[in-house]
Amino acid sequence: MRRRRIILDCDPGRDDALAIAMVLASAAEIELVGITAVAGNVPLALTYRNARFICDLCGFPGVAVHAGADKPLAREPVTGTRAHGESGLEGMEVDMRPGAVEPGGATAFMNETLRIAADDEITLVAIGPLTNVAALVAESPALLPKIRQIVLMGGASRAGGNVTPTAEFNVYADPHAAARVLDCGRPMTIISLDATHQVLTSPARAERLARAGSEPARRLAALLRPAVHSRTARFGPDRLPIHDPCTIAWLLQPELFKTESVPVAVETEGTHTLGATVVDWWGVTGKPPNAHWVTEADGEGVLDLLIECIGRL
């Protein structure tokens, strides 16, 4: 079977790091064309450093990592340091200092990759705020047919938000970018909190990864344990929803998930609802579906796959 060619746009970020490791461990199924970093969980200099650090840790120092947007399109920047720590990789020893980064290289890399690709050749996997992808959509509409599919972690409907009662972090951090991407017309699969809240780690899972055998697995196992401030009453003291790796699990084993085709819009103005992803479950708007919304995830199956992948590194 032909490998899927992907660009991974991310804001590492504890769960982003696990997603990167899963991709690197799945070279037989996925060709990682490159990684683009975006400001999100932590500022761009740190998301870029963290992406670079995880590739090196997993034994892939040659992976192309490009720095993208250092701030959202229109709103004031927000970060996710509460859940990810000041470094973005709380729980891990990060022995790589952040350097100066030139923002904007990500869209140049995306443009060039699409320019030389065939139609429907490149899958964009977006697991951070959508600022880089929105810039690509605005700058190069003629290249959009080269995008086979956009697979994104973001949004929330029935699960409720994780940064406000209605908004999930990636969409809340840049709602204008999310709205632009959702309207770009390319096939889109959205893995929101509705799905990722069904994928909850446990101390036993973290222990299993730590014992999987490889040095990367031992060090990455810390990311399956909640960061100090992310322990919430919602999931209990030692359970943690694993968000970003669900996108890679969907690419590798889509049978672990169920989806529904629905129209989805993003609130870009609301006082109480800014960043909400509004899903028209019953077709009352009369609008055509613009996304495959993942409604169910086999949490145990996703975690088994994550451990199997990262244990191979």
Q: Which spans of this chain sit near ligand RIB (rule: CB under 6 A)?
A: 11, 13, 15-16, 40-41, 80, 127-128, 153, 162, 168-170, 243-244
* Count of residues near Ca ion by CB under 5 A: 6
Q: For residue 105, give every residue at least 6 positions away whose Cβ sits within 8 Å of its Cβ, in sequence order, or none.
A: 66, 67, 68
Q: Among residues 143 and 153, whose Cβ is nearest to Ca ion? A: 153
Provide the minimum distance between the beta carbon of 154 and ligand RIB in the complex, in angstroms, as a whole number: 7
Q: Which stretch, 90-98, 205-213, 239-247, 268-276, contacts Ca ion (CB under 5 A)?
A: 239-247
Structure tokens at 151: 């697979």
Provide the minimum distance between the beta carbon of 16 and ligand RIB in the complex, in angstroms, as a whole number: 5
Interface residue with Ca ion among 16, 90, 174, 194 (CB under 5 A) is: 16
Interface residue with Ca ion among 13, 129, 155, 241 (CB under 5 A) is: 13
Q: Among residues 20 and 33, whose Cβ is nearest to ligand RIB? A: 20
Q: Which stretch, 101-109, 127-135, 198-206, 215-223, contacts Ca ion (CB under 5 A)?
A: 127-135
Structure tokens at 128: 């951070």
Q: For residue 76, give every residue at least 6 positions away whose Cβ sits within 8 Å of its Cβ, in sequence order, or none.
A: none
Pairing assessment for the beta strands 291-297 and 257-262 based on DSSP bridges:
antiparallel
**Collapsed DSSP state (helix, strand, coil) of residue 108:** helix
Q: Among residues 143 and 302, whose Cβ is nearest to Ca ion? A: 302
Of 3, 30, 1, 28, which is closest to residue 245 (Cα–Cα)?
Answer: 30
Catalytic residue selected from 66, 197, 243, 292: 243
Q: Is residue 174 a contact point for Ca ion (CB under 5 A)?
A: no
Q: Which residue has the tokens 């998930």?
A: 257
DSSP 8-state symbol, 223 = G
Cα separation, 54 vs 39, in Å, equals 17
84 is catalytic: no
Cα separation, 313 vs 306, in Å, equals 11
> Which residues does the annotation mark as catalytic?
243
Site for Ca ion, rule CB under 5 A = 11, 13, 16, 127-128, 244
